[in-house]
Amino acid sequence: MTALDNYEKAANELARDFLKKLYPDDPDNYCDWYWVGGTVGGVMSWGDWFVDTTVMANFFRCGLTSDEFFDWYDQWVEDKKGKLNIMNFKNKNNVDLLKDF
């Protein structure tokens, strides 16, 4: 296997694990997904949702629940500057506490 093969395999596993975590009780919800433009490891789409592998990886790094992810996604879509990444969203309460110092 080449490095590219390993990368694409890992990206596909990440996407499947991500969707399984979002929909643990409804496996049919994550069966119909694809890589936008056919670029494995780029932007993944399912339904009306679009995320890249960085979002998926940070979802796991931050330990978000599916509810927290969907809350973040709604706010991220409304944030036209795109500055609300998952790391900022997860730590927003800590940042708010530090504003007073």
Note the pLDDT tens digit of each residue in 35-91. 999 999 999 999 889 999 999 999 999 899 999 999 999 888 887 666 778 887 777
pLDDT at 30: 63
Q: Which pTM was predicted?
A: 0.81
Domain count, the chain: 1
Between 3-12, 38-47, 89-98, the lowest mean confidence (pLDDT) is in 89-98
Distance CA 70, CA 77 (A): 11
Measured distance CA(79)–CA(22) in Å, rounded: 22
Contact between residue 56 and residue 14 where contact means Cβ atoms under 8 Å apart: yes
| 17's tokens | 């694990």
The contacts of residue 20 (CB under 8 Å, 6+ apart) are 27, 30
pLDDT at 8: 97
Instruction: Single out the residue of 27, 29, 24 nearest to residue 47, CA to CA.
Output: 29
CA 92 to chain centre: 17
Which residues, including other chains, have CB under 8 Å from residue 88's CB and lie 6 or more apart?
95
Owning domain of residue 33: 3-98
